[in-house]
Homo-oligomer: A and B are copies of this chain.
Amino acid sequence: MDTTQRTDQQRSADRRRRELLEAADRVVLRDGPQASMNAIAAEAGITKPILYRHFGDKGGLYAALATRHTDALLDSLRAALDAPADRRERVEATLDTYLTAIELRPQVYRFLMHPAEGGQPGDAGFDVGKHSAPLLRRMGEELAQVIEERLDLGPGGQQLARVWGHGIVGMMHAAGDWWLGERPCSRAELVRSLADLLWGRLAAAGDRVGGPGF
């Protein structure tokens, strides 16, 4: 039958695609995002044109790669945000989940968020792709939805929720990025400091003696 035929072929193609993605993953995690298509093909035991047949171009491959990791991360964040606990605890758990993820797999994080950096040679070849934007945007939108669904913010609440969603995600991202590079404190302290910020400790802080205060 024609349909079963098609199905078989598609299944095999999908399997192959997954294998190729895993090979690409290994190379990218080893060599950074500036990994060449040749290198990826070699790791997969094949040659370039096959990659192009499967993914169109390098952007397509990287997008597929990024989507996998992004989806996984978003799943764990959703889980943390849905745990049975009070609001602050869940906020802290979510921050902690994100930070743990980037701490455990900094290479994935760098791939999703950062330019190449990994080149011994004169470098200059940058990279990145539009990976960081999509991930940050998706996280921002999802958080906005959660906020809007569960919090009573009064009139204009929907818009407020979206601003906050993106703002909070950006806060988490930038703080995490800095923390990952400098490791100035433990993860728990970082989580606590960010939650304190969200909880209004900035507004509540007193001015320093002798100055106008911020």
Number of copies: 2
Cβ–Cβ contact B178 & A166, under 8 A: yes
The answer to whether A57 has its CB under 8 Å from any CB of chain B is yes
Bound form: Cα–Cα A206–B152 in Å: 5
In this complex, which of A130, A206, A214 has the most chain B Cβ atoms within 10 angstroms of its Cβ? A214
Main SS at interface, chain A: helix
Interface size class of A (residues with CB under 8 A): 35 or more
Cβ–Cβ contact B115 & A149, under 8 A: no
Residues in chain B near residue A122, CB distance under 8 A: 57, 59
In this complex, which of A170, A197, A205, A206 has the most chain B Cβ atoms within 10 angstroms of its Cβ? A170
Of chain B, the residue at the smallest CB distance from A208 is B152
Q: Which residues of A does B touch, CB under 8 Å?
A: 57-59, 81, 84, 87-88, 90-91, 114-115, 117, 122-124, 126-130, 132-133, 136-137, 140, 146-147, 149-153, 159-160, 162-164, 166-175, 177-179, 184-185, 189-190, 193-194, 196-209, 211-214
